[in-house]
Amino acid sequence: MGFGFSSKPFFLFLSFLVFSSFLELYYPLVSASDDTTLVYKGCAKQSFTDPAGIYSQALSALFQTLVSQSMKVKFYKTTTGTGQTTITGLFQCRGDLSNSDCYNCASRLPTLADKLCGKTLAARIQLYGCYMLYEVAGFAQISGMEMLFKTCGSTNVAGTGFEERRDTAFSVLESGVVSNHGFYTTNYQSVYLLGQCEGDVGDSDCGECVKSAVQRAQVECGSSISGQIYLHKCFISYNYYPNGAPRRSSSPYPHSSSSSSSSGQNTGRTVAIILGGAASVGFLVILLMFARNVMKKKHDDY
């Protein structure tokens, strides 16, 4: 004997409830990677005069070459133009990115350079996952140890033994980036670190650059649980996760902070509450439909 209503809608709604349960179970608890997020920009104050469009053509050719190479390699440096219109440029992706992720990151850089800097004699655009720079012939050079940008987390953990753990991890990073030829990630007692040098920097100079960046981090960031130091020829990043690295993150090393992982967890909980509420409402509807049909059946029997 049936319940007096079609089994097909009931089956579809039951399937929805099961699917909702899976959505709640597998929803990521940590926000997606933001490798294409802007970290900083550096633009020369002078713009080039280009009535004939020669500089623009050379710069466009440079950008096209760099982007096309990003599908194959993670670092590439080249020169376009001749004489006074010579432009040197390069791009580099973070060492742990795949070729497709590298291309996805690098392909955004030319548009950002034009939007953020315009037709300047030199520009550098740094995203979390990659960067690009170019300079017209004759542009003033700076030291490879020059600090371009820094950021330190707002949370401090002074007096907890954190600085000792961080400094031990820094020592491992300094040697690891040399033995691994310019890119290295490590973790020590919940301190996650990453270091990378520009692709054409030798091992010895890379070690010195990272050592300088480490010293900057110790001074500039103190007992902050996270920090990023960008020098002209290298950068380092560190994060301290006393309660463990964020779950389901693509990597705990590059730039995630405890605040961003917390945001992801809140999002996951919000979705779980919504889906749980939907399932509860659905179950209540089924009960009401069942009760209504039982009452209708009894009435028909009379």
The amino acid at residue 146 is E
- Give dist(CA 170, CA 182) in Å, integer: 15
- Give dist(CA 91, CA 134) in Å, integer: 9
Residue 58 Cα to chain centre, angstroms: 30
> The tokens 């960031």 sit on which residue?
221
* pLDDT over threshold 80, residue 262: no
Residue 32 Cα to chain centre, angstroms: 8
Tokens describing residue 181: 């030829």
Render pLDDT for 91-101 as a digit per residue (tens, 0 to 9).
Answer: 999 999 999 99
> The tokens 């979390």 sit on which residue?
128
Given a contact cutoff of 8 angstroms between Cβ atoms, the answer to whether 283 and 54 are in contact is no
Q: How confident is the model at residue 260 (pLDDT cuts 50, 70, 90)?
A: very low
Given a contact cutoff of 8 angstroms between Cβ atoms, the answer to whether 123 and 111 are in contact is no
Q: Which one is predicted more confidently, 204 or 299?
A: 204
Q: What is the pLDDT of residue 126?
A: 97
Given a contact cutoff of 8 angstroms between Cβ atoms, the answer to whether 132 and 89 are in contact is yes
Given a contact cutoff of 8 angstroms between Cβ atoms, the answer to whether 103 and 35 are in contact is no
Task: Look at residue 295 and give its three-state secondary structure.
Answer: helix
* pLDDT over threshold 90, residue 181: yes
| Selection from 292, 296, 278, 298 nearest residue 17 by Cα | 278
Q: How confident is the model at residue 191 (pLDDT cuts 50, 70, 90)?
A: very high
Q: Residue 48 half-sphere exposure, CB side, CA atoms within 13 Å?
A: 24
Q: What is the pLDDT of residue 8?
A: 45
Given a contact cutoff of 8 angstroms between Cβ atoms, the answer to whether 40 and 149 are in contact is yes
* pLDDT over threshold 90, residue 202: yes
The region of weakest confidence among 10-24, 86-100, 192-206 is 10-24
- Give dist(CA 191, CA 242) in Å, integer: 8
Q: What's the angle, vertex CA 282, arms to CA 279 and CA 287, rounded to 5?
A: 125
**Over 161-180, what HEC string results?**
CHHHHHHHHHHHHHHHHHHC
> The tokens 């020169």 sit on which residue?
79
Give kind and range of the element (H or E) at residue 244: none
Q: What is the pLDDT of residue 58?
A: 94
Given a contact cutoff of 8 angstroms between Cβ atoms, the answer to whether 232 and 219 are in contact is no
- pLDDT mean over 7-36: 41
- Give dist(CA 197, CA 179) in Å, integer: 12
Render pLDDT for 105-158 as a digit per residue (tens, 0 to 9).
Answer: 999 999 999 999 999 999 999 999 999 999 999 998 899 999 999 999 999 988
The amino acid at residue 258 is S
| Selection from 224, 228, 167, 218 nearest residue 194 by Cα | 228
Render pLDDT for 58-98 as a digit per residue (tens, 0 to 9).
Answer: 999 999 999 999 999 999 999 999 888 899 999 999 999 99
Other Cβ atoms less than 10 A from the Cβ of 8: the count is 8
Q: Which one is predicted more confidently, 221 or 13?
A: 221
